[in-house]
Amino acid sequence: MVLDRSTTHVKSLLAVLRHTVTNVDFCKKIDVLILIQELENLQPFTALRFFSVDRETLTATLGAVLTYFIILLQTIQCKPNN
């Protein structure tokens, strides 16, 4: 949902940029148009197309990993010394 909205915003910004690039010299105009074309062809980052990897997925994964390490450290500290 958030990804769809951000994609829509990016596409609208690229359309505005495409129309405002008319007052630039030819070489810069070509560079900007190539950049716009590359940005329009970007696909969302996915994990083998099973799910999209966005900010929410990364923070949830980081939280799970940190929780695992905290529990691991607590179990190591609770072992009696032989």
* Threshold 0.75, pTM exceeds: no
33 contacts: CB under 8 Å, gap ≥ 6: 18, 21
**pLDDT, the chain, mean:** 79
Tell me the pLDDT band of 2, cut-offs 50, 70 and 90: low
Among candidates 19, 5, 14, 20, which has minimal Cα distance to 41? 14
pLDDT tens string 18-58: 777 666 777 777 888 888 788 777 777 888 888 888 888 88
Confidence at 4, pLDDT banded by 50, 70, 90: low
55 alpha-carbon distance from chain centroid: 7
